[in-house]
Chains A and B, each alone.
Chain A
Amino acid sequence: METKAFQKIYTSITQITKATCSLNAEGVGYEELASVNGRLAQVVKIQGQNVTLQVFGGTEGIPSNAEVTFYGRPPVLKVSDDLAGRFFNSFGLPIDGGPEVEGDEREIGGPSVNPVRRKQPSELIATGIAGIDLNNTLVTGQKIPFFADPDQPFNQVMAMVALRAKADKIILGGMGLTNDDYLYFKNIFDSAGALDRIVSFVNTTEDPPVERLLVPDMALTAAEYFAVDRNENVLVLLTDMTLYADALSIVSNRMDQIPSKDSMPGSLYSDLAKLYEKAVQFPEGGSITIIAVTTLSGGDITHAIPDNTGYITEGQLFLRRDTEIGKVIVDPFRSLSRLKQLVIGKKTREDHPQVMNTAVRLYADAANARTKLENGFDLTDYDERTLKFAKEYSDRLLAIDVNIDTDTMLNTGWELFSENFTQAEVGIRKEMTDKYWPRKK
């Protein structure tokens, strides 16, 4: 990003904080980009002559006579089909050694879709993971996060979902990724031979935290290009949104804003909604689906970040280690996909809703039986059978390493019902049992 000859250069900074600096300047537009001694910055406040800049790279070593130039435009991303297969930093510059991408300049963080022009989401996304496809079906145009503790393998699961979903493009927005996770994503996409449909914007833990604020907008601008201009189905992966929110709170803190709950800025809900609401089914066929990760601290979902996220997204997925089988499963109790009722039993087999609900109900019975056991009460025969069912259900369906299609999931469900219960105990509508209850061998 070279400076141009006719640009005015300011050299008198009036105030420097850890994330911002201020100076007197004229003719500056709000949200305009600037360069402070070569570091990228953005206008966040104008008061008369005084302009405050948020310096993405941090202000370490910035002198009060730093050279400041203004770009006369907000941050942009150059979009074209050449984005595919490339890795970029938060500013949209290549980090994979390749050339810069040429194309149309698009402002990032652009306007919202007119709600009357949206289409109701209706296409399911198959992942092969029963905890998702069977119990919490995803739909194109949906936005859904994994609520996960930092020690859970959320990035692995997300990469798996991304590769199995038949999306035309996968856009990875990595915020505060460790270098190891960054390389993991790179390798797994590479070895799956999927690099040509992947675009990555990555801010690693080695990069300054405030830079992260650009990553989701960059990723979503690229997504809008493929979904709108190319009518493609785009899957956007954002990890980790908690680190994004932390960066928001750093900036608002430096600007002396009054924090609301959990030291987060009062605008957290709007800030997050602006990103997540980019998930949309377009009428012309393109779509943007967002799968995000929000790490929790100690499983606390009442913290401002997961709480606001939950009010914005269409459900949430929880991972849990099932000690009975020693594998990670998608928790059937706490996970929810709000849009699943738009597709289950409609785009999938008619028995889907009933099998799903019944299995979860029986799994809940098993949890009760386990509590009884722990409290030293005697188990009934039914209790014993629910426990056996629960173990097999976890092992053959919920475990995330299982990869089967939805019909197989449903058939497996019926097998488990018939092996452990009578038709009356299962209590599914008679027309369904008549059709799907496995015959005795």
Chain B
Amino acid sequence: MKENNLTRGKVTGVIANLVMVDVDGPVSQNEICYINLEGVKLMAEVIKVFEKRAYIQVFESTRGLKVGTEVEFTKGMLEVTLGPGILSRNYDGLQHDLNKMDGVFLKRGDYTSALDDKKKWSFKPLAKKGDTVAAGDWLGEVNENEQPHKIMVPFKFEGRYKIKSVVSEGEYTVNDTIAVLTDQKDNEVPVTMVQKWPVKVPIKTYKNKPRPFKLLETGVRTMDTLNPIVEGGTGFIPGPFGSGKTVLQHAISKQAEADIVVVAACGERANEVVEIFAEFPEIEDPRTGRKLMERTTIIANTSNMPVAAREASVYTAMTIAEYYRAMGLKILLLADSTSRWAQALREMSNRMEELPGPDAFPMDLPAIISNFYSRAGFVYLNNGETGSITFIGTVSPAGGNLKEPVTESTKKAARCFYALSQQRADSKRYPAIDPIDSYSKYIEYPELQDYMKENISDTWVDNVMLVKNILIRGKEASEQINILGDDGVPISYHVDFWKSEVIDFIILQQDAFDPIDRSCPIPRQKYMLEKVLDVYDTSFEFESFEEVNPYFKRIINELKQMNYSEYESEQFKRHEKELYYIIDEKKSA
């Protein structure tokens, strides 16, 4: 691109981070531009054009900005840099490497590069001279933190190409040419390990996107057993403050059966991100024995960082996830919290004086949210391999009220709903996911049911449905007891209630801080589910209702000790044995 072709402009107005610019040439929606504020370049994005005036949102503080300041437009949209070396990095919302920035405080316009251009990667070719390739096809691979990182034909390439040459196995930096392709007109195009992609555009280099069907294990019982999420699925976690959203998201990011985890810390507390920074490099991934940080990338736009970049941060995270999905990997993408992203949209819409929708959010909020969620999914790549992005977002509903626009819009887009209940949180029943209000639409998918029958057990799905019923019956019994009094109901009501309490304490509740209990693999979940159903299937005899509570507390205690013991250890078996002694005490003949 020639310098003199670029559009330039001059600032004519400022309202917080919304800036009006009069331009001397064409500009496009979402085009990136830089404001030259006394030598510091501030990045901004076009969000509205009216005649010769562009409205831009600045990704930085606009303090000191004056009318007449020069603005340069770039012709490009907001792009991320994709290549080996993204893993283990901490980026801001615009993919600048936070660790490369100097000083304790963030400086305006301190834009650091996303990748390390000095590091040498050992490249192995996967394609050969003469092959016909298209965007997203694998040319070779490098080893990134023990993950096979595929070097692909850049996603922006249209049509078919022929490989003219590929370098041989060896050490290369990201900017070295590793292949030369020729297009249909025989023009030569060099390819390096780096490519750029606009974040607001989905990467669609896959063959097709079927309905997801594979269970994604998270190790969290109340999710996996009752309301499972699938590889390529979408879910969201709404909850009032203090209900354990962040602890739950951290648990999922630590334990989930994914190759790569991308965390978008979007407008939340900085100390929570610091916790990830401090812990992830220390904690081991039990599946690989390597540190969790090696499979993780963090996009941090904490609540005190510029608001406009907050909106960009979720897109940056999604695009990175899509890049890795195109390599045939399983990605888990977490965004905490999508409400902050929606609020960023609201602030801008408000400054542009658009007519507001409900609660002053922009009218197209539901569309924006569902478009974003639709970028997740399980895909078959062109070479037959599979990849997936599982997306879980948290929502922070104002006043804990689930009838607000962000929760409602998300409910339409996401297929799993994990409602955190204040009541459960208050009574310290963690994770506070309400078992009755929450749902997973995937559990009704015959594809997933077949998968679970084959991989867990024939009776699994029926058992899960049964458990849901027991919980509902327990809730009804408890309501009756509260209304009529302990001695105003038949003893069987107490038994029904306590049988559901067994499930609550043993399956639903889980100690995220206990080294053993915090992660529960599927075989163990299956085993424990069978134990609690054994209790359920037993008919007991009690003389009076007063016996019921202490008796079931003993049952719960033994089962709880099993949860706290190493699976199938001596200790585990001892408590199991004790459990059956207790069951036999009151078993009716």
Chain A interfacial positions (CB closer than 8 Å to B)? 26-32, 44-49, 74, 107, 110-121, 141-142, 228, 257-261, 266-267, 269-270, 273-274, 277-278, 280, 282-283, 302-304, 307-308, 310-312, 314-315, 333, 336, 339, 341, 377
Is B356 an interface residue, CB under 8 A from the partner? yes
CB atoms of B274 and A270 under 8 A apart: no
Chain B interfacial positions (CB closer than 8 Å to A)? 12-16, 20, 61-68, 90, 98-99, 101, 103-108, 240-242, 267, 269-271, 273-275, 277-278, 300, 302-305, 307, 340, 343-344, 346-347, 350-351, 356, 359-361, 396, 398-401, 426, 485, 513
CB atoms of B65 and A29 under 8 A apart: yes
Q: What is the bound-complex CA distance between A113 and B98, given in angstroms?
A: 11
CB atoms of B13 and A310 under 8 A apart: no
B98's contact among A111, A114, A311, by CB below 8 Å, is which? A114
A113's contact among B106, B108, B400, by CB below 8 Å, is which? B106
CB atoms of B398 and A304 under 8 A apart: yes
Q: Apart from A267-B343, A302-B400, what are 20 other A-B pairs with CB-CB below 8 Å?
A: A26-B67, A45-B13, A46-B15, A48-B67, A111-B106, A112-B105, A114-B98, A115-B273, A257-B350, A260-B346, A260-B361, A266-B347, A270-B307, A274-B304, A277-B302, A277-B304, A302-B399, A302-B401, A310-B241, A311-B241
Chain B residues near A49: list those with CB within 8 A.
Answer: 67
Chain A residues near B101: list those with CB within 8 A.
Answer: 114
Q: What is the bound-complex CA distance between A115 and B275, given in angstroms?
A: 10
Known: A47-B12, A115-B273, A270-B343. A377 touches B485 (CB 8 A): yes
CB atoms of A115 and B350 under 8 A apart: no
Closest to A119 in B: B274
B103's contact among A27, A114, A266, A303, by CB below 8 Å, is which? A114
Q: What is the bound-complex CA distance between A274 and B61, given in angstroms?
A: 12
Q: What is the bound-complex CA distance between A310 and B399, given in angstroms?
A: 10
CB atoms of A141 and B303 under 8 A apart: no
CB atoms of A111 and B105 under 8 A apart: yes
Chain A residues near B105: list those with CB within 8 A.
Answer: 110-114
Chain A residues near B305: list those with CB within 8 A.
Answer: 112
Known: A114-B104, A115-B98, A115-B277. A339 touches B271 (CB 8 A): yes
Q: What is the bound-complex CA distance between A257 and B360, given in angstroms?
A: 10
Closest to A376 in B: B485
CB atoms of A120 and B66 under 8 A apart: no
7 A-B pairs with C-beta separation under 8 A: A31-B63, A120-B278, A260-B359, A270-B303, A270-B347, A274-B303, A303-B399
CB atoms of B271 and A120 under 8 A apart: yes
Do most interface residues of chain A lie in helix, strand or loop, or is the interface mixed?
loop
Closest to A270 in B: B307
CB atoms of A48 and B98 under 8 A apart: no
The 9 closest A-B pairs by CB, nearest first: A302-B399, A273-B303, A277-B304, A260-B360, A310-B241, A47-B13, A29-B64, A112-B304, A46-B14
CB atoms of B67 and A113 under 8 A apart: no
Closest to A334 in B: B426
Chain A residues near B274: list those with CB within 8 A.
Answer: 115, 118-120
* A297 vs chain B, min Cβ distance (A): 14
Chain B residues near A280: list those with CB within 8 A.
Answer: 270
* A72 vs chain B, min Cβ distance (A): 9
B275's contact among A120, A261, A267, by CB below 8 Å, is which? A120
Q: What is the bound-complex CA distance between A93 and B347, given in angstroms?
A: 33
CB atoms of B13 and A48 under 8 A apart: yes
Known: A228-B104, A269-B340, A312-B269. A112 touches B360 (CB 8 A): no
Q: What is the bound-complex CA distance between A333 and B242, given in angstroms?
A: 12
Q: What is the bound-complex CA distance between A48 and B302, given in angstroms?
A: 33
Chain A residues near B278: list those with CB within 8 A.
Answer: 120
Known: A29-B63, A29-B65. A258 touches B360 (CB 8 A): yes
Chain B residues near A107: list those with CB within 8 A.
Answer: 63
B107's contact among A44, A111, A258, A310, by CB below 8 Å, is which? A111
CB atoms of B270 and A277 under 8 A apart: yes
Q: What is the bound-complex CA distance between A193 and B270, given in angstroms?
A: 35
* B561 vs chain A, min Cβ distance (A): 12
Q: Which of A120, A278, A314 has the most CB of B within 10 A?
A: A120
Chain B residues near A142: list those with CB within 8 A.
Answer: 271
Closest to A43 in B: B14
Known: A114-B104, A115-B277. A121 touches B271 (CB 8 A): yes
Chain B residues near A274: list those with CB within 8 A.
Answer: 303-304
Q: Which of A44, A112, A266, A267 has the most CB of B within 10 A?
A: A266
Closest to A265 in B: B350
* B514 vs chain A, min Cβ distance (A): 12
B398's contact among A110, A257, A307, by CB below 8 Å, is which? A307
Q: What is the bound-complex CA distance between A141 and B15, given in angstroms?
A: 32
* B245 vs chain A, min Cβ distance (A): 10
* A318 vs chain B, min Cβ distance (A): 12
Known: A311-B241, A312-B303, A339-B271. A258 touches B64 (CB 8 A): no
Q: Which of B99, B271, B307 has the most CB of A within 10 A?
A: B271
CB atoms of B241 and A259 under 8 A apart: no
